[in-house]
């Protein structure tokens, strides 16, 4: 099974995601899960490209690759000036799109591509479709309201269709699936209908199928919120919550969907700002725990994909910096409160030896590798509309 992105775009030729389906977008060549004969050559090319690009970068430019600020999907002059600052002054690795329009999202994506020497990640939350963030786009059911009869084929089709819509909006990364498992019975959870439910096997099956659909359609999936936010005792937007399960309980519930996602070769994990004493005794967020991100995720679980933080400006990560997360094992830090300041701190951490140069290079190499593997040719149309396929999938899910 493919480690990293399950779909390669633009650099290789191929066809369809599911059997009998044609390429969903004439601007990109999609290789499905059954068409990966050239994988070895492509990964070699990707590593060589990553190394060649990195050899031309300054420390500040490399550090910038690891930061993705948030930006409203607004093509006003003021917003585009801010985008230029992110690109020219901070050399960001991409952006996370917030509320706005499809047309503006596509404009931001194309503008950023034109400003940067390296293709950017354009990420978005789309937990019930692009409608979560972009106006006048198809709205799919929330995960917790998906029909009990919906199967993995329906979820694959959902992810595949959403990938098509994302590309029309210039998006190449979806911050999903949500793999958080709800407590059984009437246990409280701040995740609510964002989750597929309290059955970890079902959460795994539906979430992984959806991720496969996204990646077969040329969009990176990001499973969240590792190692599981479903049983957290608070909202990480407001403070650092705790998940007080034993290691055995975590393995049987919260970790099961993430293990399935990793075992199926998907691309990226997002950390939750959670205190999980069964995995880390010190009362710190997972986001800055080397014991969890490096020793557990990399060494124990064997995950080789991207590790993203949840928005670092959330209260659950209060007092910690992008540098802290990168040192611990993260590859990309999302939504800092002050992008320039976080870049300065990250660069300073390298200069002072707190973040070894080799560690910085390892993180940047992984980011560039996945950018190559998920590269897409051309821009979106700036239009996302309901189609007969959209309606068919929504009916399957309800």
What residues are labeled active site?
237, 310
Output the six-digit token pair for 289: 């725990």
Q: How far apart are CA 88 and CA 107, in angstroms?
A: 17
Question: How many C-beta atoms lie closer than 10 Å to residue 145's C-beta?
Answer: 11
Classify burial at 18, counting beta carbons within 10 Å of its beta carbon; exposed 0-12, middle 13-18, buried 19 or more. middle
Q: How far apart are CA 94 and CA 3, in angstroms?
A: 22
- The three state secondary structure string of 236-295 is CCCCCCECCCCHHHHHHCCHHHHHHHHHCCCCEEEECCCECCCCCCCCCCHHHCHHHHHH
Nearest to 200 by CA among 178, 180, 216: 180
Q: How far apart are CA 203 and CA 181, in angstroms?
A: 7
Q: Which residue has the tokens 């990480």?
A: 236
Q: How far apart are CA 257 and CA 254, in angstroms?
A: 7
Q: How far apart are CA 123 and CA 121, in angstroms?
A: 6
Q: How far apart are CA 1 and CA 216, in angstroms?
A: 13
Kindly report the CA angle at 260 between 255 and 265, in degrees rounded to 5? 130
The H or E element that residue 377 is part of is none
Q: Show Cβ contacts of residue 249 under 8 Å, excluding neighbours closer than 6 positions.
A: 278
- Spatial contact of 9 and 218, defined as CB atoms under 8 Å apart: yes
Residue 58 CA to its chain's centroid (Å): 26
Output the six-digit token pair for 244: 């007080």
Classify burial at 114, counting beta carbons within 10 Å of its beta carbon; exposed 0-12, middle 13-18, buried 19 or more. exposed
């Amino acid at each position: 099974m493919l480690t990293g992105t399950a779909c390669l775009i633009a650099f290789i030729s191929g066809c369809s995601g599911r059997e009998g389906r044609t390429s969903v977008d004439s601007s990109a060549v999609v290789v499905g899960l059954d068409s990966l004969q050239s994988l070895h050559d492509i990964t070699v090319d990707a590593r060589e490209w990553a190394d060649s690009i990195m050899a031309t970068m300054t420390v500040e430019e490399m550090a910038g690759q690891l930061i993705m600020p948030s930006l409203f999907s607004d093509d006003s002059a003021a917003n585009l000036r801010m985008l230029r600052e992110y690109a020219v002054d901070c050399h960001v690795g991409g952006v996370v799109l917030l509320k706005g329009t499809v047309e503006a999202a596509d404009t931001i994506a194309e503008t950023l591509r034109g400003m940067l020497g390296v293709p950017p990640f354009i990420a978005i939350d789309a937990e019930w479709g692009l409608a979560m963030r972009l106006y006048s786009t198809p709205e799919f059911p929330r995960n917790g309201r998906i029909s009990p009869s919906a199967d993995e084929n329906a979820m694959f089709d959902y992810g595949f269709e959403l990938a098509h819509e994302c590309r029309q909006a210039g998006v190449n990364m979806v911050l999903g699936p949500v793999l958080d498992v709800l407590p059984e019975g009437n246990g409280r959870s701040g995740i609510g209908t964002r989750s597929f439910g309290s059955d970890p096997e079902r959460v795994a099956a539906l979430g992984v199928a959806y991720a496969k659909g996204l990646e077969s359609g040329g969009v990176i999936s990001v499973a969240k919120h590792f190692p599981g936010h479903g049983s957290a005792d608070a909202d990480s937007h407001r403070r650092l919550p705790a998940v007080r399960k034993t290691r055995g309980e975590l393995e049987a519930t919260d970790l099961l969907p993430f293990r399935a996602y990793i075992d199926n070769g998907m691309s990226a994990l997002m950390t939750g700002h959670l205190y999980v004493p069964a995995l880390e005794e010190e009362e710190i967020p997972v986001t800055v725990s080397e014991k969890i991100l490096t020793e557990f995720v990399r060494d124990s679980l064997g995950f080789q994909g991207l590790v993203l933080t949840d928005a670092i400006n959330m209260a659950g990560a209060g007092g910690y910096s992008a540098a802290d997360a990168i040192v611990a094992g993260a590859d990309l830090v999302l939504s800092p409160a002050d992008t320039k300041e976080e870049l300065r701190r990250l660069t300073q951490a390298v200069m002072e030896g707190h973040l070894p140069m080799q560690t910085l290079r390892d993180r940047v190499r992984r980011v560039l590798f996945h950018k190559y593997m998920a590269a897409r040719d051309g821009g979106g149309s700036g239009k996302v509309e309901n189609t007969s396929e959209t309606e068919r999938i929504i009916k399957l899910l309800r």
